[in-house]
Structure 1
Amino acid sequence: MLFPTLTFGLFFLAVYALTWAVRGSNEWRKILLLLASWVFYGAWDWRFVALLIFSAVLNWGTAALIARTDEEWEAGRRKALLVFGVAANLAILGFFKYYDFFLEQLGVLLHQFGFERDMPLLEIILPVGVSFFTFQGMSYLIDVARRKVPPASLLDMTLLMSFFPHLVAGPIVRASDLIPQFRQTPRLERGMVAMGLLLIVWGLFKKAVVASELSVNLVDPIFFDPSAHSSLDLVIAAYGYAVQIYCDFSAYSDMAIGLAALLGYRFPFNFNQPYRARSLQDFWRRWHISLSSWLRDYLYISLGGSRGGVWKACRNILLTMLLGGFWHGAKWTFLIWGGLHGIVQVMETLWRKFRPQHWPLMPAAIAIFITFHIVTLGWIFFRAETFDGAIAFLGGIGRGDWGATIATPLMIGLILFGMMIHFTPPTLAQGIALRLRSVPALLLGLGTGAVILIIDAMRFEGVAPFIYYQF
């Protein structure tokens, strides 16, 4: 069930009406939201609702046992339970996402040594959002073990991992942010409604009009066969994908935040103009903030962080980015993408440590320009289906064939417009929402409906799936 569709619109209207109609019992309201979330997830494949429930119960039960180890002498038991819980989550993720990949690589390795084996590949269907809800479960277990959050009830924990606005593509909302909200009966505030509607409409526009059109009519055909296109086509497609993935993913996050707000819950914002970053480390403070902060808090710091000196910090940065890249998918291109980001961040760390103090700092505009193009280079590996495809794409750019292009003026305009969207100040939406608070509810609803109809008329045939659905 995709957000920018009529089916989801009708589904959400029904959920919205029913949840706010339930009065006097927050528990029944949460049960209704939980059932609605399972319907939302089951619309894709009912079989995997059981996996979602199992994962939630596993993390709830393990966290409850961890919380009962209060005495210092039980620290070893607490650690063992945490290791078990994290390993169980990784086993779920590993089986569905990486089982066939590792067997294929083993088959290739055996072939190199002259052994031919038929590997028992299962062609496993990847559950939508499995990476997000397993990461959410692990962060909850670690926070309980670190005594940062108290253990949640079974209902709250299951709803945390199943809540449909963020279930399939984030943001990765932590237990410390959302469970305290579940414990209180939400109130429908005019400010939250105004901001929620604004974010939903804004996200719908970015996804349906900008990202989907760039995907279908520019990026997908050029990445499908780079050798059939000129160097100019390839460069435009690279820039096009940089705009597409930003508009696509930030649109999902905006809509998720907006939908949660209409139901009375606050999600953290997930993007902060990432292409304004002056370094790769700055980029990861701005891009997919919920994931980058997760990697920092639960992987980088767990590896040792910056403790032990600059060289161990560099090692931990590289490992974190490699694993972060591999989290995105079982392909070598994601490892290379993560490795590129890791290597550049290591270089930045070493430069800050050993740069001669009398050397001037790089001008901001130049730093932003260089960072953006390093990120765009990485997006080529991220988008390419295979390593050979990425190399063919880069080789095509190197041909120097700057002749005709298939990119229409509309595509060029959408790329430029997408960058304008990106550079829109975050405070603009907040200011508009403040002004919308005083608009009568009926007028606000009619206005939102009219804007959605206009966007529907502007968009092109079909809606490409959200990029992060595959993760």
Structure 2
Amino acid sequence: MLFPTIRFALFFMVTWGVLLGVRDRPVARRVVLLGASWAFYASWDWRWLALVWSMIGINHVAARGVAWSPTAGGRRLALVLGIGADLALLGTFKYYDFFAESVVGTLDLLGVQASVPLLQVALPLGISFLTFQAISYLVEVHRGVTVPAPLLDEAVWLSFFATVVSGPITRASELIPQLDRVPRATDPGASFALVLRGLFKKVVLASYLASSVVDEAFASPAAFSATEVLFAVYAYGALIYVDFSGYTDIARGVAGLLGFHLPENFDAPYRAASVQEFWTRWHMTLTRWLRDFLFTPLGLRYGRHRIIGPLLPLLIMLAAGLWHGAAWTFVVFGGIHGLALVAERADRLRRRRLGIGRPPDTLGRRVLRHVVTLQVVSLAWLFFRAESMSAAWAMLHRIATGPLATGQITALAALTVVGIYGLQLVRAPAVAERVQAWAGRTGPVPQAVGLAGALTVVDVLGPAGVAPFIYFGF
């Protein structure tokens, strides 16, 4: 059903209308944003508000300890305690049952009977994004990048309903200074264009691929040929892109209409000619977080270590995989990307050590790098989507041993998948940016007509029921 999207739109419209009434009262603007964000979060499950309030309180106290402790040791202790508390909340809700079941399973294989109580609680919405934002806040205060924010400002930033469920991962130093701006859309045409583009991606493209190709193939791979299962894997790569980037478009458009600028999160990721380049284009705010708060500090400490240094990308990507979900499939997803990054880094170091320059960037070599990168990324997506490790192996077994029939691949499905990948290769994002710029230059009447027409197209082309955004579960 379309209810999650309608709920998001409803909270935006109400918030926008109320903000216009208090636009000249800074404190009232913050209170309205905070109230709307908490109401939005509570509309999923009001009990989860306790988690949001706990994280706000913990990080408010910890940030002041980090900034105001008289000694370096005291500041470091406050930082460690604050990050530890954030990770403890994340671990309790998201990972406790996973690790408990893994320990029991391992002991069972060793012939040891054990029983561990499980929490079996629902995963709070967007807890991973909340945790990463909170940690970035404490680290930036410790580094002197930002100062402890007033409690109200911190609460508004950490709870902001446009980003709380699926990102982009924002930092206090980016969003909190924007709270003093009068809530006026600087470019309403471009913002509406972003929202409509996101709705089209999610409601039309993602829903179609999920219902017509991906879900059935992943649920019952034995009912499909090897070619059809392989096509479903590529279709899932296209699906998760339009689903996640669609949400980001909506979030950025809504934030723009409220007067906020959110960072970009996608830049034609399937144009990448290496796995490293893929991560500079995919979920860019997560990549930036991993770089600034894990890879760079760990690299400075362990970069020259004979064992840890070369394996550092693998260790970080394993952590990133586990961040996405508490299952071994996500660990394998991170491991595939990590091993690819290690291999690419080793090749660069080998060339540097031997004084071998990079070969000429001919069309053939670039196409080959694109193809290899796509295969690595698609293999990782297979594990990301699979419900379990056994389901992933069943998919791989069918691809390796099944017949090569293509009867269940429709022309429309093939055109949709090829179009999603292909448009990124021809710099379609630049076309979208020109459309947004045009929308911003037009008057209110053409904008209203265009908005109504686009919503009608989305409604006509979209299915009767639309699943929640994929990243709502992370």
Output the TM-score relative to the length of structure 2: 0.94
Which whole-Å CA distance do the structure 1 matches of 2:241 and 2:441 have between them?
32
Cα distance change of structure 1 residues 255 and 163 upon mapping to structure 2, 3 Å threshold: same
How big is each residue's C-alpha offset from its partner over 1:104-146, in whole Å with a ceiling of 9 and x where there is no partner?
Answer: 0111122123222332112111001000001100000010011
Deviation at 1:366, TM superposition (A): 1.3
The structural deviation recorded for 1:4 is 6.6
| Structure 2 residue 465 is the aligned partner of structure 1 residue 469 | no
- Within 5 Å, which residues of 2 pair with 1:44-443? 44-69=44-69, 71=70, 74-189=71-186, 192-305=187-300, 307-308=303-304, 312-355=308-351, 356=354, 357=356, 360-361=359-360, 363-423=365-425, 424-443=427-446
Please tell me the residue identity of whatever aligns with 2:321.
G
Task: After TM superposition, list the pairs within 5 Å mapping 1:31-42 onto structure 2.
Answer: 31-42=31-42
Q: CA deviation at 1:19?
A: 1.0
**How much identity, in percent, do the aligned residues show?**
41
Secondary structure, counterpart of 1:5 in structure 2: helix
Match of 1:202, SS state, is: helix
SS in 1 for 2:24: coil
Alpha-carbon separation, structure 1, partners of 2:257 and 2:120: 39
Q: Distance in 2 between matches of 1:438 and 1:218?
A: 39
Aligned residues: 466
Deviation at 1:320, TM superposition (A): 0.5
* Distance of aligned partners of 1:455 and 1:421 in 2 relative to their CA distance in 1, 3 Å threshold: farther
Residues 189-225 of structure 1 deviation map (CA, whole Å, 9 limit, x = unaligned): 2xx2122111100010011111111112210111012
Give the Cα separation in 2 of the matches to 1:421 and 1:181: 34
Moved more, 37-46 or 240-249: 37-46
Distance 1:59 1:118 in 2: 35
Call closer, same or farther: CA 1:33–1:358 in 2, change over 3 Å: closer
- Which deviates more from structure 2 when the two are superposed, residues 340-349 or residues 440-449? 440-449
SS at match of 2:441: coil
Partner Cα separation in structure 2 for residue 361 and residue 219 of structure 1: 38
Aligned partners of 1:384 and 1:112: how far apart in 2?
24
Displacement of 1:311 in angstroms is 5.7
| Partner in structure 1 of residue 458 of structure 2 | 455
Structure-2 change in CA distance of 1:86 and 1:139 (3 Å):
same
Q: Is the 8 A contact 1:277 1:368 kept in 2?
A: yes
Given that residues 193 and 439 in structure 2 are in contact (C-alpha distance below 8 angstroms), is that contact kept between their aligned partners in structure 1?
A: no
* Deviation of 1:418 (Å): 2.0
State the alpha-carbon separation in 1 of the partners of residues 146 and 382 from structure 2. 40
Specify the SS of the correspondent of 1:461: coil
Indicate the RMSD between aligned Cα atoms, in angstroms: 1.9
Look up the match of 1:444: 447
Maintained 8 Å contact 1:232/1:405: no
Distance in 1 separating the partners of 2:303 and 2:183: 42
Q: Distance in 2 between matches of 1:2 and 1:461?
A: 8
Is the CA contact (8 Å cut-off) linking 1:64 and 1:151 kept in structure 2?
yes
Distance change (3 Å), C-alpha of 1:208 and 1:359: closer
* Partner SS, residue 325 of structure 2: coil
1:22 corresponds to which letter in structure 2? V
1:10 and 1:81 mapped to 2: Cα distance? 40
Secondary structure of 1:125's match?
coil
